[in-house]
Every structure is written in C-alpha cells, then in structure tokens.
Amino acid sequence: MNYLLRSSTLEESDLPLLAVGVTKHEKQLPPALAALDARAGGVLARACAGDFTGGRDETSLLYLPGAEPRRVLLVGVGKLEELPLIGGLARPVAVRNAIRRAAAIAARRARALGTGAVAFAMPAELRSGVGAQDFAQAAVEGLAQGAWQFDELKSPSGERKPPVTDLTVVVEPAEESAARRGFAVGRAVAEGQALARRLQALPPNQCTPALLADTARQLGAAHGFAVTVLEREQMQQEGMGALLAVAQGSVTEPRFIIIEYRGAGAAPPVALVGKGITFDTGGISIKPAAQMEEMKYDMSGAAAVLGAFEALGRLKPKINVVGLIPSTDNMPSGSAVRPSDVVTSHSGKQIEIVNTDAEGRLILADALSYARRFKPAAVLDAATLTGAVIIALGHAASAVMGTDEALIEEVRRAGDRAGERVWPLPMYDEFRELNKSDIADVKNSGGRPAGTITAGWFLREFAEGYPWVHIDVAGTAYSDVDAPPLPKGPAGVPTRLFVEFLLGRAG
C-alpha cells in the first residue's frame, strides 16, 4: 500500500478519485466547496441542491468535465452537532470517528470502482473544530480500513477489479505540518491493523501457532524487538498445565510467544495478552457445524497484539511493552482433554475443566500468570472469549472488565478515540461464585447466566499482582455480514485501541 499526504487546494487536485467529506446541509452547497464546484462546472452544487444531503454514509459520485480530478465522490458524514455522545464521548472524538468512517466508505467505493487510488479531503470549515493532525490520522486510518482486502488465496483473474494501492489524504497547504504528525500515526496504526486482519483472514491450516510465532520473529527482526518462543516442552517446564491441556488434543504444535519492545529504559511495561486459538472446534465439547468456520478468527486477540507491535515498531514511543500470546488450536481426539479433567495451571491453581469449549480462558490463565514476572504497570488482554458478549452487546462494542476502575476508564477512552468502542460489565461477587468447583479450586465454566462476566471472573483468578483489564472482542473482531463501513470478514479489533492506549501512556 502506498500512503501519501498531499497539500493542495481541492480544485488543484489531479487525482482519479477525490472523495470529499460533506456535512449534512439544507439543499445547498457548503461554501467551503465553492472553488471545487467552480472547477466542476457547478455539478457539486446541483448534487447538494438535489439528492445528496450529506447524511451519514450517503454518497454521490460525480464525473467532472475536462481534466483531473476525474471523479469527485461526495461522502456524507451527517450532522456533526447531533452525533450521539453515549458514555461521555467527547464531541471532537465523535467527529473524528465520523471522518474515519467516511474515509472508509470512500475507499470501499474506490475498490468497487477499480480506480486503484483514492484521495480523501474535508475542508477545515466543515470539520467542526477537528484540527489537521486529528483529521489526517482519522482519514488515513479510514482509507486503509476501507481499502483493505485479502485476495492472496484467489487465483489471478482478469475479471476482478484491481486493488486500491494508493491512499492519499489531502489537506490545505497551511495544515501540512500538523497533518504530517497525525498522518504518520494513522499510517502506523493502519499498517498494524492490516497485519492483524491478514493474520485473521488466513485459514487455520496456514495460520498456525508456528506462523504466529514466525510473524512475531519477523516483527522482531524488522523493528528490534526481543522475541522468545516457548514450545511444548518448555511449556511443560514452565508448568503451563492449562494451556497444555487445550493443546494435548491436537497434532498442531502449540507456541507461547513473548515479544518485548523497549522504548523507556527500565520503566515497568504494559503487557498486552492476546488469545491465540488458531481454530476452536470446541474440543470434546464440540461445537455445532453451522458457522464453525468462523472459529478461525479465534486468534483475533493475538492478531491485534501483533498488529499493535507493528505500529509500535514504526512509531517507537517512549514506553515499554510486552506482548504475550498463548497459541494452540482446540481439537477433539483420543488424546484430548475431557470434561471433568482437573489440571494444574501455571499459577498453581487447580482447574476443573467442565467444558472443553471454554478453552480461551484456560490458555489466558497461564499467560496472565506468566505476566507477573514482568512486574507490569498494567495488563490488557483481548480475546474472542464468549458468545454471550454478542447477546449482551451485539456487534456494537467489545465488553470490558477489570480490577482497576481507572484503568477501565483509560481503556474506554482509548476505545472511543480509536473508534473501537468498549463497554463495561459489572464484576459482582455473585458471579465469582458460579465458577466454584466441587473438587478443584475453580471450574472453567460458570454456565450460561452472565457468561461473559463469569469468564472475566475466571481470568481474574489468575490476574494477580497488577492492574488488569480484559476485553472480550467476540462480537467485534470480525463481521459475518457486509455492512458499511466494514466488509464481511476480519476487522482487526482491538489493534487501534491498543495503540491509542499505549500512545496515551507514552505521553
């Protein structure tokens, strides 16, 4: 992908497709677009006086007379004074998110058109106070999000439209230096998220724990991270009995991946932990066949951790970060763990495995316990952990829980700013009771009621000695429907949240 920041007035543009974010208006051209309209022979004014109202996701594709820009795509961002501010969302943040969304819509349209390139602009007068830096970041993130596609595994075909390979953000010359900073951050975030989405999209016969480990090593070589990879034998030495219990049913070799970025000397690191189940059949507690193929996305947490490290490598912020990825697939077999087996976890706690499909919390338990050795300032884990979170929040937000209210709030703010919403669920003591085992310290399923929170409570038994937050991304990491602005498939959530959180901490 080629990323370009260009400073010029809109009417000077010489691009095959210039998308312009436009706010909701009453049947008239916003004055900020007058010069471009003059260049366009009045066709923008006619569109704005006609069908195009600037409502969210609305688009109007205009072909201009004469030379470039050949096409102008008006993209509605809606009425910025009326964006819903749920959960204390700040208006400028909501506006940035609307800009990111419009840019993504524009890039998706470019894909459909086959233009190969797309530029996005929005006059400062229409941005309701969002400055050039934030605009450029949101715009490039949105463009990359919309342009992303995965066709590595399709044979070449003359019938397919060419991919979008050139993403341009256009700002006024006076905005250039401020825009450059936001653009660099947005580009790094976008490249991280694209890596996460590619890993998610890869099928589980290719995206194995070994491939995730190789990806970490490649990131290490490219950016100077220290990478350590534990194999089955070393996991045994470490006493990772919960992770090994999940892995014991599979011929695929598990990996425990440790990736370390140092940007702040000896300061305590933030640890990012990602669930890396490369395929979840459920094991002996096997899942129904319908939609089981979606369980290739059960490594989405791991993908987001690796995506965040890609962004860290490009931005080199002043912070220390450790990534921890427990990875295996979850298979039924003659050697698989049985419902009622009891295993000794890395922490020493005894776990009764009553449901082999509650495997994510098992592998994360050992990773959270392992995290203690880094004396982390905070630990964030991301996991496609429960189907129940989709019942609670649908696909509109990830659930967040933790041991530290301030940290939960910090993660919420990072999610808002990144356009990857999270919403808190209450860790009432009552829910802890549901995980009590008759014969061991804890059991790995508390049943159906409050299934997302009992999963959170299970993790909490192992997240000792540091502030901790858990993000359940089962409803947000991928989409099973095609909807604006995201296509069906992997979303790369919560890569942007992770990066936003880390940059916020780095100051």
Q: For binding to ligand BES (CB under 6 A), which residues are involved? A: 280, 298, 355, 357-360, 384-388, 445, 451, 474
The alpha-helical segments, DSSP class H, found in 394-481 are 405-418, 429-433, 451-460
Please enumerate in sequence order all residues whose Cβ is within 8 A of that of 422, keeping only pairs 6 or more positions apart, or say none: 397, 398, 399, 400, 411, 412, 415, 471, 494, 497
Give the nearest residue (CB) to ligand BES.
387
Instruction: Lay out the site mask for Zn ion across 50-89 (x = CB under 5 A, - = otherwise).
Output: ----------------------------------------
Q: Does residue 280 belong to the site contacting Zn ion (CB under 5 A)? A: yes
Q: Which of 300, 327, 310 is nearest to 230 (CA)?
A: 327
Please enumerate in sequence order all residues whose Cβ is within 8 A of that of 406, keeping only pairs 6 or more positions apart, or say none: 467
Cβ of residue 163: shortest distance to Zn ion, in angstroms? 31
**Which one of Zn ion, ligand BES, Mn ion, none is in contact with 445 (Cβ closer than 5 to 8 A by kind)?**
ligand BES
Beta carbons of 142 and 190 less than 8 angstroms apart:
no
Q: How far apart are CA 40 and CA 20, in angstroms?
A: 13
Q: Is 17 helix (H, G, I), strand (E, B) or coil?
A: strand
Beta carbons of 145 and 190 less than 8 angstroms apart:
yes
Q: Considering beta carbons, is residue 58 or 357 the nearer one to ligand BES?
A: 357
Q: Considering beta carbons, is residue 321 or 455 the nearer one to Mn ion?
A: 455
Q: Considering beta carbons, is residue 360 or 446 the nearer one to Zn ion?
A: 360
309-to-164, 204, 214, 338 alpha-carbon distances in Å: 25, 22, 14, 36
Query: Which position among 127, 361, 460, 496 bears the catalytic label?
Result: 361
Pick the piece of the chain touching Zn ion (CB under 5 A) from 73-81, 291-299, 345-353, 490-498.
291-299
Q: Tokens at residue 56, please?
A: 């969210």
Q: Considering beta carbons, is residue 364 or 411 the nearer one to ligand BES?
A: 364
Q: Does residue 357 belong to the site contacting Mn ion (CB under 5 A)? A: yes
Q: Considering beta carbons, is residue 211 or 302 the nearer one to Zn ion?
A: 302
Cβ of residue 356: shortest distance to Mn ion, in angstroms? 8
Q: Tokens at residue 112, please?
A: 């459909």
Q: Name beta bridge partners: 75.
A: 21, 59
100 is catalytic: no
Q: Which of residues 248-307 bind Mn ion (CB under 5 A)?
A: 280
Instruction: Lay out the site mask for Zn ion across 420-459 (x = CB under 5 A, - = otherwise).
Output: ----------------------------------------
Q: Residue 108: which H helix or E strand, with range?
A: helix 91-113
**Which one of Mn ion, ligand BES, Zn ion, none is in contact with 386 (Cβ closer than 5 to 8 A by kind)?**
ligand BES
Q: Tokens at residue 105, please?
A: 């819509």
Amino acid at residue number 188: A
**Which one of Mn ion, ligand BES, Zn ion, none is in contact with 179 (Cβ closer than 5 to 8 A by kind)?**
none
Beta carbons of 337 and 362 less than 8 angstroms apart:
no
Q: Considering beta carbons, is residue 130 or 295 the nearer one to Zn ion?
A: 295
Q: Tokens 């630990």 correspond to what residue?
A: 379
**Which one of ligand BES, Mn ion, Zn ion, none is in contact with 388 (Cβ closer than 5 to 8 A by kind)?**
ligand BES
Q: Does residue 298 belong to the site contacting Zn ion (CB under 5 A)? A: yes
500-to-185, 308, 382, 398 alpha-carbon distances in Å: 10, 9, 15, 16
361 is catalytic: yes
Cβ of residue 329: shortest distance to Zn ion, in angstroms? 10
Cβ of residue 97: shortest distance to ligand BES, in angstroms? 24
Q: Considering beta carbons, is residue 58 or 298 the nearer one to Zn ion?
A: 298
Q: Does residue 360 belong to the site contacting Zn ion (CB under 5 A)? A: yes
Q: Cβ of 162: how many Cβ atoms within 10 Å?
A: 10
Q: Tokens at residue 171, please?
A: 């700002």
Q: Does residue 410 belong to the site contacting Mn ion (CB under 5 A)? A: no
Q: Considering beta carbons, is residue 166 or 357 the nearer one to Mn ion?
A: 357
Cα(first)–Cα(last) distance of the chain, in Å? 29
Cβ of residue 343: shortest distance to ligand BES, in angstroms? 16
Q: Is 112 helix (H, G, I), strand (E, B) or coil?
A: helix
Q: Considering beta carbons, is residue 137 or 444 the nearer one to Zn ion?
A: 444
Pick the piece of the chain touching Zn ion (CB under 5 A) from 97-105, 167-175, 355-363, 492-500.
355-363
Q: How far apart are CA 311 and CA 90, in angstroms?
A: 25
Q: How far apart are CA 185 and CA 192, in angstroms?
A: 11
Query: Which strands sit side by side in the sheet containing 117-121, from one edge to the other?
Result: 2-7, 166-171, 117-121, 17-23, 71-78, 59-63
Q: How far apart are CA 437 and CA 439, in angstroms?
A: 5
Cβ of residue 399: shortest distance to ligand BES, in angstroms? 12
Q: What is the CA radius of gyration of the chain?
A: 24
Q: Tokens at residue 394, please?
A: 């649908």
**Which one of Mn ion, ligand BES, Zn ion, none is in contact with 355 (Cβ closer than 5 to 8 A by kind)?**
ligand BES
Q: Which of 51, 149, 494, 18 is nearest to 301 (CA)?
A: 494
**Which one of Zn ion, Mn ion, ligand BES, none is in contact with 209 (Cβ closer than 5 to 8 A by kind)?**
none
Cβ of residue 386: shortest distance to Zn ion, in angstroms? 9
Cβ of residue 286: shortest distance to ligand BES, in angstroms? 10
**Which one of ligand BES, Zn ion, Mn ion, none is in contact with 435 (Cβ closer than 5 to 8 A by kind)?**
none
Cβ of residue 292: shortest distance to ligand BES, in angstroms? 10
Q: Annotated active-site positions, please?
A: 287, 361
Residues forming contacts to Mn ion in the complex (CB under 5 A) are: 280, 357, 359
Residues forming contacts to Zn ion in the complex (CB under 5 A) are: 277, 280, 298, 360
